[in-house]
Each structure stands twice: as structure tokens, then as C-alpha cells.
């Protein structure tokens, strides 16, 4: 299935997700450097990186949700898309909590709880990023009109077209082709 939200012929959601992921990851890296070097200015930079990441994450979510709604129910792609979207929503919530915890502090230096929240959110992002890759690279969501939305997991070692009935066959049968 092709993406429903495109710009100049390319899906918008994959274009946008690199920004929040990069901003959040860079904020955590700067926090680690701040801990090691005690350079307090890096806490301020992390604060603003997280704020920008939240805005970017919400924007990317709009286009991801548009594409999600186009995935047929009952497919493996729909299940993975739901986990991907829910996980990314959780990441934005966690970073929002971290941002609020930092907001009332001088220099926006996170306390231990805020720092743990940010680290956990980044670990979740690695998983949701993998799920997004599974959707696009394995299942062809947003890329190929003839995508196999029920392809086996990429970790299975089986080819993407190795399933009892592919989505392409199911959709062709339903259309009377």
C-alpha cells in the first residue's frame, strides 16, 4: 500500500521522524556529556532539543496516523503499526514529563528521575524505530502498492513473500481479479 500523505511523491511520515529521533537522541548524548564534564550549559541545550523533539514528534505522528488508518485491519502490518504508533506516543509523553521536570529547575538540569525517563524513552525509540523499519522495509507499507502486509517477521529468516496467502493475493481475490 502506498502512503496516503505525500509531498512531491514521497511519504511525509518517514521524512519527519528523523527530526524528533535525532533531537531526543542528541539531548540524551548531551546529558551524558554533561554528567561526565559537569558542563551545565549542556543541560540547557538538552532542554531545548527535547522541546523541539516533542513538537517534531507530534507533527510526525499526524502523518503516521494518516498512513496507519489506510492499513487494512486484520493484517500483520496493522498490528505492527499500532505498536509502533503507541510506542512513539509513549516516547513523546516520557520526554514531555522529562521536559516538565527540567522546566522548574535552574539551568534545566534534570534530576535522576528525569534522566532515567529520558534513557528509557530512547531505549523504547530503538524498538519503535525497528518496528517502523519492519513496516517499510519488510512489509512495504507506504512504499509499494502490492505490499505483502502479512509478510513473516524479518527475524524469522524467511523471505517476505513466504506466507500461506499473501496480502496481494487476498486483496486481488476480494477485488474479483
pLDDT tens across 24-44, in order? 999 999 999 999 999 989 999
- Tally the domains of the chain: 1
Cell, residue 10:
514521497
Residue 127 belongs to some domain of the structure: yes
Whether 69 is covered by a domain: the verdict is yes
Whether residue 102 is contained in a domain is answered as: yes
Domain assignment present for 25: yes
Structural domain includes residue 12: yes
Q: Residues 142-158: pLDDT tens digits?
A: 666 666 667 777 787 77
Evaluate whether residue 159 is within a structural domain.
no
Query: Which residues of the chain, if any, have pLDDT below 50?
Result: 165-177
Q: Does residue 170 belong to any structural domain of this protein? A: no
| Residue-wise DSSP of 47-106 | HHHHHHHHHHHHHHHHHHHHHHHTSPTTSHHHHHHHHHHHHHHHHHHHHHHHHHHHHTSG
Euclidean distance between CA atoms 121 and 117, whole angstroms: 6
Report yes or no on 28 lying in a domain.
Answer: yes
Full residue range of the structural domain in which residue 56 is found: 6-149
Amino acid at each position: 500500500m502506498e502512503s496516503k500523505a505525500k509531498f512531491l511523491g514521497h511519504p511525509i511520515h518517514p521524512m519527519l521522524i528523523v527530526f524528533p529521533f535525532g533531537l531526543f537522541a542528541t539531548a540524551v548524548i548531551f546529558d551524558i556529556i554533561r554528567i561526565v564534564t559537569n558542563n551545565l550549559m549542556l543541560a540547557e541545550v538538552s532542554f531545548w532539543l527535547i522541546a523541539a523533539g516533542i513538537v517534531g514528534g507530534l507533527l510526525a505522528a499526524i502523518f503516521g496516523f494518516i498512513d496507519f488508518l489506510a492499513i487494512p485491519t486484520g493484517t500483520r502490518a496493522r498490528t505492527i503499526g499500532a505498536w509502533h504508533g503507541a510506542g512513539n506516543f509513549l516516547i513523546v509523553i516520557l520526554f514531555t514529563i522529562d521536559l516538565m521536570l527540567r522546566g522548574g529547575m535552574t539551568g534545566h538540569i534534570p534530576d535522576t528521575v528525569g534522566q532515567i525517563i529520558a534513557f528509557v524513552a530512547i531505549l523504547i525509540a530503538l524498538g519503535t524505530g525497528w518496528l517502523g523499519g519492519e513496516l517499510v522495509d519488510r512489509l512495504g507499507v507506504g512504499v509499494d502498492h502490492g505490499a505483502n502486509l502479512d509478510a513473516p517477521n524479518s527475524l524469522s529468516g524467511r523471505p517476505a513473500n513466504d506466507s500461506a496467502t499473501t496480502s496481494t493475493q487476498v486483496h486481488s481475490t476480494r477485488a474479483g481479479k
